[in-house]
């Protein structure tokens, strides 16, 4: 769409008002909508949204590190913590036999957590959901 200028848009609607295409009420309504819009400015912080950060945090250790470095740490604190807990407990899967069963359980918990992040929900996973490592 190119660069969005609220002033340019208001001027376009003012021209339409002057030409009699729209009414004064329609002009005021559109002007109000445009002034309430929050365009992205240069001062906005770059990075990912909280939901995207939560999703990326579950994508292996690399995704977790990316979420910490680039993502919205405050908005996705729940998912970052839960991803850390799940990643750490995955290490128990290296134990022969019982660890393999544990690894299967962790895959299920990871899947539940990942679906929750995709849906934008902060739903703790069973078994490990109450563990808080990051504050």
Contact 85, 105 (CB under 8 A): no
| Structure confidence at residue 46 (pLDDT) | 58
Asked whether the beta carbons of 32 and 38 are under 8 A apart, the reply is no
Position 42 scores a pLDDT of 42
- Quick one: pLDDT at residue 4? 59
Sign of CA dihedral 71, 74, 76, 80: positive
Q: What is the pLDDT of residue 123?
A: 92
Q: What φ, ψ does residue 20 adopt, rounded to 5°?
A: 85, 15
CB atoms within 10 A of CB 2: 4
Neighbouring C-beta atoms of residue 59, cutoff 10 Å: 14
Closest-CA residue to 86 (of 115, 66, 57)? 57
21-49 pLDDT, tens digit per residue, is 899 998 888 888 888 765 544 434 457 88
pLDDT of residue 37: 63
Q: Going residue by residue through the chain, which has 135 residues, state the pLDDT in tens, using 9 for 90 and above.
A: 444 578 888 888 889 989 998 999 988 888 888 887 655 444 344 578 899 999 999 998 999 999 999 988 888 999 999 999 999 999 999 999 999 999 999 999 999 999 999 999 999 999 998 999 987
pTM above the 0.85 mark?
Answer: no
What count of residues does the chain have?
135
């Amino acid at each position: 769409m190119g660069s969005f200028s609220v002033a340019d848009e208001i001027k376009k609607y003012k021209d339409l008002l002057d030409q009699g295409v729209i009414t004064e009420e329609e002009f005021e309504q559109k002007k109000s909508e445009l002034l309430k819009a929050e365009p992205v400015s240069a001062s906005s912080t770059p990075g990912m949204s909280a939901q995207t950060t939560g999703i990326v945090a579950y994508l292996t250790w690399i995704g977790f590190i990316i979420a910490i470095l680039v993502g919205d740490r405050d908005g996705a604190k729940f998912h970052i913590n839960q991803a850390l807990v799940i990643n750490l407990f995955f290490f128990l899967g290296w134990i022969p036999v019982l660890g393999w069963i544990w690894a299967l359980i962790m895959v299920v918990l990871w899947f539940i957590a990942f679906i929750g992040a995709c849906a934008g929900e902060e739903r703790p996973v069973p078994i490990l959901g109450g563990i808080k490592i990051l504050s």
